[in-house]
Every structure is written in structure tokens, then in C-alpha cells.
Amino acid sequence: MRLRTLQILVLVLLIAAWYLLTAPGLIPPFYFEQANRAAFFFGEPQKVFWVIVEWFVSGEIFIHLAVTLLETALGFSIGAIFGLGIGLWLALSPTASAVMDPYIKGFNSMPRVVLAPIFAVWFGLGIWSKVALGVTLVFFVVFFNVYQGVREVSPNLIASARMLGASRRQLLRSIYLPAAMSWVFASLHNAVGLAFVGAVVGEYLGSARGVGYLILQAEGTFDINTVFAGILVLTAFALALDTAVGAVERRLMTWQPRAGETEKV
Amino acid sequence: MNGVPALALADITCRFAARDGRSDAYTAVANATLEVAKGEFVSVVGPTGCGKSTLLNVAAGLLEPSSGTVEVFGERLLSTEGVNRRAGYMFQADALMPWRSGIDNVIAGLEFRGVARAEALVQGEAWLRRVGLAGFGDRYPHQMSGGMRKRLALAQTLILSPDILLMDEPFSALDVQTRQLMENELLALWAEDRKSVLFITHDLEEAIALSDRVVVLSAGPATRPIGDFRVDLPRPRDVSEIRMTPAFAKLHREIWGAMREEVLKAYEAQKVL
């Protein structure tokens, strides 16, 4: 509880500093020549707050949020499923893995955000170009984790399951998949964040809906308060998503030791 | 006892290709012949790193020997047909599935064989009771002690009622007291239906206390059996008490005499590395 209080205190201090430094005429300008310049460049916290309230009261934000979250969810699910499938396949097939290795490495090294304009051409300005960008970002995080996870399954565990009579299919279901899942969950926080980035960057580059679009519009009219409002709403939802992932993880990964419990050997 | 041995390894040689590709292939086991009769408890002892586990993996069908044959109740074990279906294997390290609760680990083998879950659970609970883990079925392996995990692994293996039990230093990670408890429990379970057991250990006392026969392996490389001793101690035995008897001490002296030179050889070889 003490920790929570301190955390809130930091937030309050930050907002107070923001307000003090930007409110026109409150303190004499020491960097800009004119009193209202700081507010022009950095926005003002109370105005940002009212923009957010206005968005939610008028309901204007909901369609944009829904679109951004839908893009995130689709990008994340499709990317994770492909990552899991292809990760399992390559990890269990040494030949395919050896053949694909340079391409995987190359595609991963490519700064994939530059694909956004291409996706816009291929998939149009609707949600699918953003989903595609999210998929390329999420795929590799999940893929590498699954690949690593499957390769690091203890040979003992595999031998043991074989001696207990597991067929190849049962090995996949009972050993490889659960082993890989723990690695997938380790990467999930990262992956959800990247799906979000994919959605927002995609919207920012060209869209008619979404929170990224709102930010882009506001920027076009130098409405810095609205830009900040958009950023804050995005941040809040990113945090909420992260919490949701954490909750799912705790539910599904009860078998993993946590701090305070004994370590598995 | 009928004539066909439960497990017969004949003239087994295992060569491993050197990893760097320059030095010669490493011969772990050379011309090893070993038989385990039906219902017999055989221990294999040898210095560390002499290829005991290699031999066991061959018997399990997990490893194909470079040459030689494995026969299980008179039938050739072929690598194309997969692992030794009549054997259960207990590993040195933990081989439990960490994502399954105790009971789900125990019934894994039944599940793989397509036994209905309700039926499997009944058998699983019974086995948990037999190894002294009643009421711990919903715990995950990481929530159990080393001894409990070994019991769980024992139940997981024995629930399938394998005709042959292969054990690779199963209790070596346990403290002395827990270990003796587990050894007694193993003997009690074994006495119920007398499976054939091939038990690998580096601990000569453990080998004598448990077995009908102790086979001594030479130091690696090119390990092979160099001694075969019958243990005529009466059963049922208590592993901690039997160690005090004169007959045990005599056997120990005799077998150790055969082993000592090999242990020293292995020790010297490891010092060079």
C-alpha cells in the first residue's frame, strides 16, 4: 500500500511539474520568448484531461478505440498462431530449419516497420494493412520463443514419454506444445505491445479510423493537447492489455513455480 | 524360471562419432553381453562415465547399438519398431512433466495407451497410495521434494506394469536416509510381482543390498562386463540392516576387489582430461 502511495505521488509530481512549466503566465518564461509558447509545444495537463473527458462523454473515441483494439487483437492472434505453428514445425524438422534459416534471419533483421506503406498498398487503408504490420512484428517474437522452447525440451522428458508409450502425435501434444507454451507466455507481454505498435503505426501512416488517426489529425492542426490525450489513452489501454495478459498467464501457468515457492530442478 | 531371458544384450558395441570430426570415434561400450532372467534383479556397477547409461538406453530401445543384438523375451528389438514396449524406464534426472499435476503425471502412460480418463484416475489414485503420495495428486512436481518426485516417477513407471524395469541411478540425487527408504520401498513393490529389473548404479552397497546379481563393468572407453557376482542374501531384506551382516561384508570385499582397479583407471583417465 505504501508502494502504491509513492507511485501515485510520482504521477502527481509529474503532472504538477507539467502544469507549472506550461501554464501561460504562471511563471516568467525562461526558455521561450512568449508566455504561451510552452503550452503550444507541450500542451497543458488540464486541457488534455478535458479532451479525454470530452471524447468519452461524446462517445467519439469509442469507434476509434474499437478499431485500434480490433487491429491489435487480430494482429496478435494471427501472428501468435503462425509463430507457434511455424516455430513448432521448424524446431521439429531439422532439414526445413536448415533450409529456412537464412531467410528467417534476414526477414527478422529487416526493419519491418518500413513494410507499412507496402501493406497499405496491398491491403488498402482499412484495418487489414495494420493487422498485417502487427502480424509481422508479433510473428517473430513468438516464433523465436517457440523455436527455442521446443529445442530446449529436456531429452530426458522426451525419452521418458516415449518409454511411457507416447506416439509422435502424443509427444507433440503432451510434451512439445506445453513446453513451448511456457516460452510463448514469456514473450506474450512483448508480443501484445508489438501488436499495439503495429496497429498505431499503421494508422498513423494512413487510415480513416483509430486512435493513431486521431493523433495524426490533431497533429495536422497543431492541436498538441489532443495529441497528448491520444497518447495517454493509448498508454492506458496498453497497460490494461498487459494486465489482461498477466491474468491469463497466471491462470494457465499455475504449474510454474513463483517467487517464494521452491524452484523446479 | 523358464529358459528365455527377459532381456538379453548380446555382443553390444556402441561407437559415437567424435563431435569435432577430427579425432577418432569414441567407443563407449564394446562387446558387452548381459542377460537378465525373468523375475531377476540385476545391478550393473561401474566407475563413473563408463557407459552404464549407454547400455541401459540400448536395452530400452532408445539408442541403437553400432553392432550386437537386443532380445526381449526372445524377440529381437529393432529400432525401426521403436522403443522397448515391455520395459519401463526410470531416469536419473527428473523426467516428470512439470506442467502436469502429480496424478496427471502418474496416468500419462495410461493416457498414451488410450485408457479412459475415469478408469485411469482410479488406477492412478491407487498407485499414489501405494507409493505413499495419497492426497498429493493435485500438487505440481515443483511443489514436491526430491523424494516425493522419485516416488511419483516410480508410480508413473509401474502403473503400466512393465515386464522389465530399467533404472538409471534413480536414487543418486537423494540424501542417504531418503534413499534407503526408497530402496526398501522399491524392494517391497518389486517383491509383489517380481519384475525383471536392470538397475544401474555407481554405489556398490546399493547394488548388493538390492540385487540377485551384480555385474561389474570395466572403466571406459570400450566398457564391457568384467565380473558377475551372485548375491545369495536372504529376502525380504532391509537395506539398512543387511549392510551390517558378515555375508554382505564378504560380498562387498569380493566385488570391490574386482572393481577397484577399474575405478582407479577411470579416475586416472579423468585426471588427464
pLDDT, tens digit, 9 for 90 and up, residues A140-151: 888 988 888 888
Pairing of strands B67-72, B164-168: unpaired
Same domain assignment for residues A67 and A17: no
* Residue A135 counted as domain residue: yes
DSSP for residue A108: H
> Would the CB atoms of B95 and A162 count as touching at under 8 Å?
no
CB count, 10 Å around CB of B81?
Answer: 11
- pLDDT value at residue A251: 81
Separation in Å, CA of B39 to nearest CA in chain A: 20
Q: In chain B, which residues have pLDDT < 50?
A: 1
Instruction: State whether residue A169 sits within 8 Å of chain B by CB.
Output: no
Mean pLDDT on A195-211: 87
What's this model's pTM, rounded to 2 decimal places?
A: 0.76
Structural domains counted in chain A: 2
* Domain co-membership, A6 together with A108: no
Strands B196-201 and B41-45 come out as parallel
ipTM of predicted complex: 0.84
- Considering only CB atoms, B141 lies closest to which of A162, A179, A264, namely A264
Residues in chain A closer than 8 A to B96 (CB atoms): 160
Provide the pLDDT for residue B165: 92
User: Does A167 sit within 8 Å of B109, measured CB to CB?
Assistant: no
CB contact under 8 A, B99 and A255: yes
User: Has residue A150 been placed in a domain?
Assistant: yes
Same domain flag for A211 and A103: yes
Residues A165, B91: C-beta atoms closer than 8 Å: no
Q: A21 and A70 in one domain?
A: no
> How many Å apart are CA A179 and CA A162, to the nearest integer?
16
Checking if the pLDDT of A265 tops 50, the result is: no
3-state class of A32 per DSSP?
A: coil
Name chain B contacts of A166, Cβ cutoff 8 Å. 108, 112
What is residue A257's predicted lDDT score, i.e. its pLDDT? 67
Question: For position B118, what pLDDT does the model report?
Answer: 92
Q: What is the spatial distance between Cα A185 and Cα A252, in angstroms, rounded to a whole number?
A: 9
In this structure, what C-alpha cell is assigned to residue A96? Answer: 526445413
Strand partners, B15: B27
Can you give the residue range of the structural domain that contains A81? 43-252
A149 and A21 inside one domain: no
What order do you get walking across the sheet with B87-90 strand by strand?
A: B87-90, B164-168, B196-201, B41-45, B213-217, B225-230
Share of chain B above pLDDT 90, in %: 25
Q: Residue A262: pLDDT band by 50, 70, 90 thresholds? A: very low
Do A120 and A242 fall into the same domain?
Answer: yes
Looking at the domain assignment, is residue A262 inside a domain? no
**Are A182 and B99 inside 8 Å of each other by CB?**
yes
A124 and A238 both lie in a single domain: yes
The answer to whether residue A23 scores a pLDDT higher than 50 is yes
**Nearest chain A residue to B88, by CA:** A163
Does A264 reside within a domain?
no
Q: Is the dihedral of CA B72, A168, A101, A109 positive or negative?
A: negative
The CATH code of the domain that includes A75 is 1.10.3720.10
Task: State the DSSP code for B25.
Answer: P
pLDDT over 70 for what percent of chain A?
97
Note the Cα A2 to chain centre separation in Å.
Answer: 29
A264 pLDDT higher than 50: no
Q: Do A178 and A223 belong together in one domain?
A: yes
